[in-house]
Amino acid sequence: MDSIIVTGGAELKGQIPIAGAKNACLALMPATLLSDEPLTLTNAPRLSDIKTMTVLLESLGAEVRSMQEGRVLAMSSHDLNNLTADYDIVRKMRASNLVLGPLLARAGRAVVSLPGGCAIGARPMDLHIAGLEALGAKIELKDGYLHADAPKGLKGAVIDQRFASVGATENIVMAATLAKGTTVLKNAAREPEIVDLVKCLRAMGAQIAGEGTATIEIQGVDRLHGATHPVVADRIELGTYMIAPAIAGGEVELVGGGMDLLPAFCEKLDAAGIVVTPTEKGIRVSRSNGRAKAVDVKTEVFPGFPTDLQAQMMALLATAKGTSVLEETIFENRFMHAPELMRMGADIEVHGGHATVKGVERLKGAPVMATDLRASVSLILAGLGAEGETVVNRVYHLDRGYERVEEKLSAVGARIERVKGE
């Protein structure tokens, strides 16, 4: 397996381009299943998860062409010849479950394996199932597969989610575009990826209102047509690279980013003494007054602090002045990076969903192991500011969500390299 070697102590300076959002693209790609006309996505990220979704869509009979070095995905689902999403593909990535709603809406039937993905908690499918059943589907779990049927089609309904799940919101909204009548989804997720999906669906002919708020209303239509849609910038990649100069020092401009994508995160960086300013091209981040200041962080659904930036923030706070408390409210088991940071000299105590971080003056490089996607990049960030050499092992997680991370960081002065495994 590949490893990433980081030698700390180099200040960062320059520009980092922000790719299209992984989480947005993984919801946009299954939207092709809703129409027999072509859907083209531009500004697509070049990630292993995108390849996994491509394989899944092709297994269902869709055609997916990658063009312009992977930046453009041209898809067509005019000939769906399989309605089963197989375990061997789905187990690799949780977002595979997003084919359930579109298949059910268009074909009236779907068989989808329960998903896999990172080991950060149970992340159950109950909200997806409840929402689709409210639309008239009958869903049964057999041998690890969800068997969903709607032989008479889906019908609009009022659905009140008990939790603002992003994935469930995406599945329900996509399914409701072809349902008969009006669907009102309450306590809907408000993330930018949801807004981006709705923009794409609307370009395909869907009638949807309320995206970005807690209530989304969908008026079902008979069919959707083709469209071309640009993928929104990846706010998690953006936040990750915003933390890089905060840890290592220096000044970096994140091209293509926007503070509106990360309101709560930007507030916390400001409170920690990190300077964040908008520019014509994106966002500029600098650390000019030594170590960051301690801040308390609580992960919440958008527009709150993203759970996908909690590990990276912990890496920053490990060397902040004072004591910080991080509270994880979205997923259990999401402090697995803490013991690895402690190997580098961090002072962290974890109690259930809380982590108390007492900042030390500086971390020291050490061999560490990535446990999930965001944990892997948090260890790389920690290595940027650490004394000596940090070797991050098991970085296959990294390629699921970050496009050429070592190249982007090297371009702004980081001393980082990838070592190919056997």
| Domain locations in the chain as residue ranges | 3-19+233-419, 22-230
In this structure, CATH architecture of domain 22-230: Alpha-beta prism (3.65)
In whole angstroms, give the CA distance from residue 418 to residue 303: 34
Residues 255, 241 contacting (CB under 8 angstroms): no
Is 270 annotated as belonging to a binding site? no
pLDDT confidence of residue 209: 98
- Weakest mean pLDDT among 130-144, 316-330, 376-390, 391-405: 391-405
Is 53 annotated as belonging to a binding site? no
Nearest to 309 by CA among 245, 234, 361: 234
Q: Give phi and psi for 245, each to the nearest 5.
A: -70, -25
Is 127 annotated as belonging to a binding site? yes
pLDDT confidence of residue 120: 36
Distances (CA, A) of 244 to 19, 339, 362, 402, 408: 16, 21, 15, 14, 11
Percent of the chain clearing pLDDT 90 (strictly above) = 86
Q: In this predicted model, what pLDDT tens digit does every residue of 354-375 receive, in sequence order?
A: 999 999 999 999 999 988 888 8
pLDDT confidence of residue 154: 98
pLDDT confidence of residue 289: 78
Confidence of residue 56 (pLDDT cuts 50, 70, 90): very high
Percent of the chain clearing pLDDT 70 (strictly above) = 98
Is 333 annotated as belonging to a binding site? no
pLDDT confidence of residue 415: 98
Is 94 annotated as belonging to a binding site? yes
Is 186 annotated as belonging to a binding site? no
Is 22 annotated as belonging to a binding site? yes
In whole angstroms, give the CA distance from residue 40 to residue 359: 47
Residues 205, 224 contacting (CB under 8 angstroms): yes
pLDDT confidence of residue 116: 54
pLDDT confidence of residue 346: 98
102, two tokens = 């579109």
Mean pLDDT across the chain: 94
Entry pTM: 0.89
378, two tokens = 């948090």
- Mean pLDDT for 164-172 is 95
- Mean pLDDT for 11-39 is 97
Is 367 annotated as belonging to a binding site? no
Cα diameter, the chain:
64
Q: What is the DSSP string of 324-387?
A: EEEE--S-SS--TTHHHHHHTT-EEEEETTEEEEE--S--B--EEE--SHHHHHHHHHHHHHSB
Cβ atoms within 10 Å of 263's Cβ, excluding its own? 12
pLDDT confidence of residue 333: 72
Nearest to 382 by CA among 238, 244, 236: 244
Which residues participate in catalysis according to the annotation? 118
Is 124 annotated as belonging to a binding site? yes
Q: In this predicted model, what pLDDT tens digit does every residue of 114-134 receive, in sequence order?
A: 875 444 344 568 999 999 999
Give the pairing of strands 84-85 and 282-287: unpaired
70: left (phi over 0), alpha (psi -120 to 50) or beta: left
Judge if 3-19+233-419 and 22-230 fold alike in CATH terms: yes
In whole angstroms, give the CA distance from residue 114 to residue 112: 6
Q: In this predicted model, what pLDDT tens digit does every residue of 230-286 receive, in sequence order?
A: 999 999 999 999 999 999 999 999 999 999 999 999 999 999 999 999 999 999 999
- Mean pLDDT for 89-94 is 88
Task: Supply the CATH classification number for the domain 3-19+233-419.
Answer: 3.65.10.10
Residues 185, 159 contacting (CB under 8 angstroms): yes
Determine which helix (DSSP H) or strand (DSSP E) holds 25, and give its type and residue range: helix 22-28
- Mean pLDDT for 217-227 is 98
Determine which helix (DSSP H) or strand (DSSP E) holds 16, and give its type and residue range: strand 12-17
Is 289 annotated as belonging to a binding site? no
